[in-house]
Amino acid sequence: MHGPRNPLRDWVVREVAPVGASEAEIAAFVRESSNTVHHPSGTCRMGAADDEGAVVGPALRVRGLEGLRIAEASVFPTIPSVNLCLTAIMVGERAAAFVLADAAAQVAIDVPR
């Protein structure tokens, strides 16, 4: 069928999903083919000092561990509506600034006066 009811028909090379299959076949297909390559985020969210559910604080430090920061999309408290790549780059840039500031502060402490 071509035309307004099926405008993409000429572009279809092969079926990649069980179109017209039974409910059980569709459910089996979904279970077998589902994956998480679609920009997972928010698995160790960043939060304020009083947020007990947050894994990292505002400076991206992992709570309860020394010297470890998380600088990628898992720190987002909610999934942003913009492209995750851009926001993940921003988090990486911010983490780099935190690390450099900490290093500069340490150097200032270690310099004899």
Give which of 63, 43, 45 is closest to 54, Cα–Cα. Answer: 45
Instruction: Tokens 């926001």: give the residue.
Output: 87
Catalytic residue among 6, 17, 39, 83: 39
Hey, which residues does 46 pair with through a beta bridge?
Answer: 56
Is 56 strand, coil or helix? strand
Decide if 2 is catalytic.
no
Token pair, residue 44, equals: 């160790």
Given a contact cutoff of 8 angstroms between Cβ atoms, the answer to whether 57 and 64 are in contact is no
Which sequence positions are flagged as catalytic?
Answer: 39
